[in-house]
Amino acid sequence: MPTLFERIISGEIPSDQIYQDEVCVAFRDIDPKAPTHVLVVPRKPVRSLDDDLDAALAGHLLVVANKMAQQEQLSNGYRVVINCGEDGGQSVDHLHVHVLGGRALDWPPG
């Protein structure tokens, strides 16, 4: 059974996609927590950061997260978040990197 994000990547579920390459796709979060809230999602349905994660894939996702911050002109700063597991607040079981910006973000998170 494909994950929600596989269904978005395939186009079955519409999204506001802003980037794609051979490894990953980026689209706007449906429930944004900041003026800019983008998800960077690998095409491969890796379940979470706890999965058997390939270092090259992990690095690529971070490079693309930075690319998205530049593309979205988050020149005053931004935050990159990976929620992992129940306590981490992960709600979709397909690894994804949140890129948040456009306002000052509180720390620590709730």
Active-site residue list: 96
What minimum distance in Å lies between the beta carbon of 23 and ligand DGP? 19
Q: Which is nearer to ligand DGP, 37 or 69 (CB)?
A: 37
d(CA 98, CA 25): 12
Rank residues 48 and 66 by Cβ distance to ligand DGP and give the closer one.
Answer: 48
Site of interaction with ligand DGP (CB under 6 A)? 4, 8, 13, 15, 27-31, 39, 83, 89-92
- Report in angstroms how near the CB of residue 21 gets to ligand DGP at its nearest: 18
- How far, in whole angstroms, is CA 49 from its chain's centroid? 12
- Give the residue with the Cβ less far from ligand DGP, 59 or 88: 88
Least distance in angstroms from the C-beta of 7 to ligand DGP: 8
CA–CA gap between residue 1 and residue 71 (Å, rounded): 33
